[in-house]
Structure 1
């Protein structure tokens, strides 16, 4: 699993990639606790590059959501990978999250921006 974070005064953006399972979900939970402590009013978690997502990952997200809600702040999940969407749906927790699937940022004179998925070539 790889974790990264971009912090600003208005929001924190966390990117999660790889496998989130029993062996490392505690690291995600601790990482999110640190992000909650940063006090941005909005925390966005990008899950587009997650390839495996277990119940402990769900627990980490639920815990962060609860901590932020108790403080009057928001957690938003962004670009759920099919694996994450399935786990959250099967566990009945998907409906409890605010989910953003598309980027709709306007670029001057060009209409809406869209997400680009890079093609991986070589070995």
Structure 2
């Protein structure tokens, strides 16, 4: 499934909605969308991953990098509704706290 990303403003920051599979071939698209969300909107960045069926190490690296960038700005990156297989990988890597996972 091709990657689909949308960025929208919300009251407390921005929301990035992601659908498809995030891997080395398209992780730069996610990185660009997250940078855009942080640059255009103040506040937290919520990333809705309900429709992400797969994420590889490159995609995870993008999320961690964005979480660190948000922290440096005094905000946070919030991963919303990850599918169980995606959340399991994040938990195994021990980065779930950095990503502020919400169900």
> What's the TM-score, normalizing by structure 2?
0.90
Q: Does structure 1 retain, via aligned residues, the 8 Å contact 2:7–2:33?
A: no
Structure 1 unmatched ranges of 5 or more: 102-123
TM-superposed deviation, 1:95: 2.7
In structure 2, the partner of 1:12 is 14
In structure 2, the partner of 1:89 is 91
Does residue 74 of structure 2 align to residue 72 of structure 1? yes
Following superposition, which runs of at least 4 residues in structure 1 exceed 4 angstroms of deviation?
Answer: none
> What's the TM-score, normalizing by structure 1?
0.76
Instruction: Specify the SS of the correspondent of 2:25.
Output: coil
In structure 2, the partner of 1:48 is 50
Question: Number of aligned pairs?
Answer: 101
Q: Which has the larger radius of gyration?
A: 1
TM-superposed deviation, 1:86: 1.7
Name whichever structure is richer in helix by fraction: 2
Structure 2 unmatched ranges of 5 or more: none
Instruction: Specify the SS of the correspondent of 1:98.
Output: coil
Does residue 29 of structure 2 align to residue 23 of structure 1? no
In structure 2, the partner of 1:63 is 65
In structure 2, the partner of 1:108 is none
Cα deviation, 1:70-114, whole Å, max 9, x if unaligned, reads 01111111101122202211222113221211xxxxxxxxxxxxx
Cα RMSD, aligned residues only:
1.3
Return the alpha-carbon distance in structure 2 between the equivalents of residues 83 and 32 of structure 1.
22
